[in-house]
Structure 1
Amino acid sequence: MRLFFIVLSTFISLAVQAEQNWQALEQQAKGQTVYFNAWAGDDNINAYIDWAAEQVKQRYHVNLEHVKVSETANVVSRILAEKVSGRSEGGSVDLVWVNGENFRALKEADLLFGPFSQRLPNLALTDQQSPALLYDFTLPVEGYESPWGGAQLTFYYDSARLAQPPKSMLDLLRYLEQHPGLFTYPAPPSFYGTTFIKQALLEFIDDQSVLYQAVDKQQFEQLTAELWRFLDKLHPLMWRRGLSFPSGSGQMQQLLNDGELSIAFTFNPNEPAAGIIQGLLPESVRSYVHQAGSIANTHFLAIPFNSDATAAAMVVANFLLSPEAQARKSDLSYWGDPSVLSMDKLNAEQRQLFQQQLSPASLSAQDRANVLAEPHASWVTLLEAEWLRRYSR
């Protein structure tokens, strides 16, 4: 019994110390400006970040400036250039929305501040043992990123025009042989285009396990041969005969709404349902994934090594993990980005924030569970380079 009270007392003492440390960090953050470099290709996302900026200003006296970017790789290059030039303080980036490829580049070049995510009080509301939060494109996170949202490659179609969608890459090819021009995808290095070709590679490769290891350049040609044969056949059957490609998910959505496409895709499983609510898609739209599953991951926030506003950046990251911020982000009326919080770690009042009516356009629970892990980040560079060599004009 005495040992129990000793352990309990120690736990309480550590909890109090952690709370005091966080309160001190919030005081340090007051008045700081966080330059948040984040993709700006969607009005709903931009509006959500504007809302978050208002909230952290009111609550914590932190200024959040959304630096709108089209390619996060350019942000990584800028941070690297600052390091090379000796700019170890006063960096131009304080917080950045990253995917696994960019995280790998930042981590390998020692461009990250941290580890910091374990210091965020709201991280306790996530499943900290989940591989989806511990690894990013197979790379250990190790506290250098804070989870922000979930993602899954999701196909959608207009059920008023197409009774049964093709649920594999081969079936998609067969469908387009009979109905040419009704599908397309963005050209890599667009994130959406790269994700599409990774999905195709996962479906065509004999041994998927090799994709979860660093790419072997000597075997790359052999392992990807079937992928390129598939794309060679697919492109002439696509929208505009594959001679031009859409800019991103927004244009694919518009093309489907206009009737130019019958199938489109996104990396946000709630986007089709949100599109209906926002009047951007017809009510007949439905979502699905391929029978083999579809690529899913978590997107994260990171802090560069030379930020002068690390305290404020952590305050912002912690707020974005709060039930209020996560619930608003997942609301179909605002963004529809899936939450990373574990509902069983929330109290009744917090869970109530997430109560929403499911849309007929939402993915089924079975489809949400039918996921494929992202390949190792090293595959991206070679896949994009080879795609550009073969198909760019």
Structure 2
Amino acid sequence: MTRRRILCTAAFLAVTGLLTACAGNGPGAAGAQGSDNPQNVRVYLASDTNIQELWEDTLIPAFTAANPDIGVEVQFDLHGNNQTQTVAKLAAADAQGADPGIDIVEGDPAQQAGAADLLVDPAGLIPGLSAVAPDIVAAAGPGAVPYRASSVLLAYDSTKVPNPPRTLDELLAWIKANPGQFTYNSPKTGGSGQAFVTTVLDKFVPPDVRAQMTTGYHKDLESHWDEGWRTLQELNQYVFQGGVYPNGNNGTLELLASGQVSMSPVWSDQFLTGQRNGTIPPTVKALQISDPPFTGGATPIGIVKASDRQENAAKLIDFLLQPAQQQAIAEKIAGYPVIPLDQLSEEVRTAFGDARPDQLRPTYFTDHKNDLNNLWDQLVPGH
């Protein structure tokens, strides 16, 4: 049987919210008997390119080798730019009893879909979920299953910054004392920049208020961000080239690796992968700040309630939670495993011994993150 991987970038009809998947026939692709096969699982990914590569090059080939009658079709949406339309599409399909065109949703849209009661309760469907700590599962939200985790760290050029800041206040002071040597990407284009913005805003948000904003949508509470926006506005003149923000997580890493800046927030998985493959020099180090630390946590994935392929979707998600795939996630993208480390190799146990996803500081609820992205565009650049 010929296997094909269906690789495409999702195309969306802006008015209707309908999604059209582009099917490809590249060599080594995964898909049993074509994209119209009802046994195939259709996965929507709202992530960065490293996650796309993880699925295409590692997770899908392993799954289809173990399940040759089930293909996997990927609908890839870079940075989740069309996630609002996607969730609306799932809601419409659920209400109409129609085929949603998606069986599994990943990333922030999984949290949104779960909150809207659009995901299947995974209890009893996914045996591997029993290996994941209950608090990690709870943080993923209703119907969602955590399958990988990471956090944002502060990366710095150790040849230029022998004593890096270790708290948020120290970092803000360092940025002002070293004009042009710090940057972060615009939050709408990547999570590392979003984590920096979130952490600055959090400096002025009471803990009880923040707890509400991480588990649900309370727009009136966003007034607590006002002082944080003023702080970010004041930083404009001190960031790279007096207020130039890179596009995406990779854009930030490239400026840091090339020596154009000396410090920036980075995703733990992208940073460790870059050091492993040599794109980030060994002189660039990373640490976690405190008071507060940068955000992080587990990425959710869930089975769409309107899907008629739930059984195969559950097989795929359960497969992701098995030790071999958790090991692959750690090795390929330096993602934090969500199952106990004692189920993985000694190398992974050593590398991630201090990585505790259940202790990572969660980011805001998806709707608050969307507001944060839009408000940053309006309030920060150029002010």
User: What is the CA distance between 1:282 and its match in structure 2?
Assistant: 0.5
Match in the other structure for 2:122: 116
Deviations 1:48-73 (A, max 9, x none): 43322112212112111222211336
**Could you state the TM-score of these two structures normalised by the residue count of structure 2?**
0.79
Match in the other structure for 2:43: 36
Amino acid at match of 2:378: R
User: What is the CA distance between 1:94 and its match in structure 2?
Assistant: 1.5
Q: What percentage of residue pairs aligned between the two structures are identical? A: 19
Alpha carbons of 1:80 and 1:48: their partners in 2 closer, same or farther (altered >3 Å)? closer
Q: After superposition, where does 1:81-230 map in structure 2 within 5 Å? A: 81=89, 83-84=91-92, 88-99=97-108, 102-112=109-119, 114-127=120-133, 129=134, 131-136=135-140, 141-142=141-142, 144-192=143-191, 193-205=193-205, 207-214=206-213, 217-218=219-220, 220-221=222-223, 223-230=224-231
Alpha carbons of 1:81 and 1:47: their partners in 2 closer, same or farther (altered >3 Å)? closer
User: What is the CA distance between 1:315 and its match in structure 2?
Assistant: 1.0
Residues in 2 aligned to 1:309 and 1:146: alpha-carbon distance in whole angstroms: 17
Residues in 2 aligned to 1:75 and 1:216: alpha-carbon distance in whole angstroms: 20
Larger of the two Rg values belongs to structure: 1
- Indicate conservation of the 8 Å contact 2:90/2:118, yes or no: no
Residues in 1 aligned to 2:186 and 2:63: alpha-carbon distance in whole angstroms: 37
Match in the other structure for 2:329: 329
Residues in 1 aligned to 2:124 and 2:196: alpha-carbon distance in whole angstroms: 33
Deviates most, 64-73 or 283-292? 64-73
Greater RCO, 1 or 2 (C-alpha within 8 Å, sep 6+):
1
Deviations 1:96-155 (A, max 9, x none): 2123xx34432343322x11254212122222x3x222123xxxx34x112111122211
User: What is the CA distance between 1:159 and its match in structure 2?
Assistant: 0.8
- Indicate conservation of the 8 Å contact 1:212/1:376, yes or no: no
Q: After superposition, where does 1:1-393 map in structure 2 within 5 Å? A: 32-39=39-46, 41-43=48-50, 45-61=52-68, 62-72=70-80, 74-81=82-89, 83-84=91-92, 88-99=97-108, 102-112=109-119, 114-127=120-133, 129=134, 131-136=135-140, 141-142=141-142, 144-192=143-191, 193-205=193-205, 207-214=206-213, 217-218=219-220, 220-221=222-223, 223-242=224-243, 244-267=244-267, 269-292=268-291, 293-331=293-331, 334-344=332-342, 346=343, 351-352=344-345, 355-356=347-348, 365=354, 371-391=360-380
Structure 1 unmatched ranges of 5 or more: 1-29
SS at match of 2:187: coil
Residues in 2 aligned to 1:378 and 1:75: alpha-carbon distance in whole angstroms: 11
SS at match of 1:154: strand
**Could you state the TM-score of these two structures normalised by the residue count of structure 1?**
0.77
Residues in 2 aligned to 1:72 and 1:241: alpha-carbon distance in whole angstroms: 29
- Indicate conservation of the 8 Å contact 2:151/2:296, yes or no: yes
Q: Which runs of 4+ in 1 moved over 6 A?
A: 366-370
- Indicate conservation of the 8 Å contact 2:106/2:301, yes or no: yes
Residues in 1 aligned to 2:298 and 2:154: alpha-carbon distance in whole angstroms: 18
Alpha carbons of 1:285 and 1:392: their partners in 2 closer, same or farther (altered >3 Å)? closer
